[in-house]
Amino acid sequence: MKKLNQALPSIVVMSVLIAVWWIVVVATDSAIFPTPKAVVMGTLELANDGTLWEHIGASLMRVGIGFGLAVLFAIPLGLWMGWVHGAFVTLNPLFQILRPISPIAWIPIAILWFGVGNASPIYLIFIASVFPMIVQTTAGVHTIEKRFLRAADNFGVSRKKLFLQVVFPATLPQIIVGMRVGLGVAWLVVVAAEMIALHSGLGYMIIDSRNAGNRYDLVIAGMIIIGLIGLALDGIMRMLEGMKIVRWRYAH
């Protein structure tokens, strides 16, 4: 009941927006822009023939692989850079130069190196999500309260044990934040990449619907589905923040 009450304002706002959308389309007698009902019917059409699930599966597969590789690379590297001053001084300027470059700018390079196929968007997702996680993980190590380290040192904790039982758990909140940011950017990038260089996925579905008979009901449906999946992915990452091993640093 409590969760329902918390969600009620959002439900009301979305209901009002849908109502306004429907009224405006009907009032303007638009022959192109679809009503909410047309969007729902178009979505059901794709769901019934299986096309929708194929596109969703293709996009999630690419994000899963690219983001997973980024996690495996970024977190150990970020911990190392935060723990070893020399590594931070050497590598941080390079990452600060590469980080502001839009992932979309890497699309021509990705196509040149990997061609038109799954490897290109997976590479773009990796590039998009790896830098936020490296920066956030490194910052997490740097912001560990010194009293934790001093307490461990007073008890004669070895460097390895200090890293595994103090540094890594203390950095987890920042790691999760970096993963949330990286996953959000990854989901944006895969849609953009699919619009340009692929023949499957939600991004391709939107462009194909626009080109094949101006099916704007499917275009809007694709946009809404992308938003809903993005919300679900962010919700999964937020669940990680609630784990006891993550929350201990905040003394909740």
Query: Taking a C-beta distance cutoff of 8 angstroms, is the pair 169, 245 a contact?
Result: yes
Domain enclosing residue 3, as ranges: 1-31
Alpha-carbon span 108 to 111, nearest angstrom: 5
Residue 1 is predicted with a pLDDT of: 62
CB atoms within 10 A of CB 138: 26
| Co-location of 133 and 88 in the same domain | yes
pLDDT of residue 248: 53
How many structural domains are present in the chain?
A: 2
Beta-carbon contacts of 176 under 8 Å, excluding residues fewer than 6 positions away, are 237, 240, 241, 246
pLDDT of residue 217: 86
Q: What is the rounded distance in angstroms from the CA atom of residue 154 to the CA atom of residue 149?
A: 9
Say if residue 129 is in the same domain as residue 20: no
Residues 145 and 158 in one domain: yes
Q: Within this chain, do residues 3 and 90 fall inside the same structural domain, yes or no? A: no
Asked if residue 122 and residue 4 are part of one domain, the reply reads no
Report the alpha-carbon distance of residue 233 to residue 30 in Å, rounded: 34
pLDDT tens, the chain, 252 aa long: 666 667 677 788 888 888 888 888 888 877 788 888 888 998 898 889 888 899 999 999 999 999 999 999 999 999 989 888 899 999 999 988 988 888 888 888 888 888 878 888 899 999 999 999 999 999 888 887 777 667 766 767 777 777 777 778 888 888 888 898 999 899 988 888 887 767 888 888 888 887 876 788 888 998 999 999 999 998 888 887 776 666 555 444
User: Which residue in the block uniquely carries the two structure tokens 């969007």?
Assistant: 39
Q: Do both 226 and 185 map to the same domain?
A: yes
Kindly state whether residues 120 and 8 are assigned to the same domain.
Answer: no
The closest of 40, 50, 27, 16 to 220, measured between CA atoms, is 40
Across 157-173, b (16+ Cβ under 10 Å) vs e yields beeeebbeebbbebbbb
**Same-domain check for residues 149 and 232:** yes
Answer whether 0.75 is exceeded by the pTM. Answer: yes
Calculate the CA 37 to chain-centre distance: 29
- Return the CATH number at 90: 1.10.3720.10
Q: Do the beta carbons of residue 139 and residue 224 sit within 8 Å? A: no
**In sequence order, which residues have a C-beta less than 8 Å from that of residue 170 and are 6 or more positions away?**
140, 144, 145, 148, 249
- Tell me: do 237 and 178 sit in the same domain: yes
Question: Same domain, yes or no, for 120 and 21?
Answer: no
* Residue 89 shares a structural domain with residue 1: no
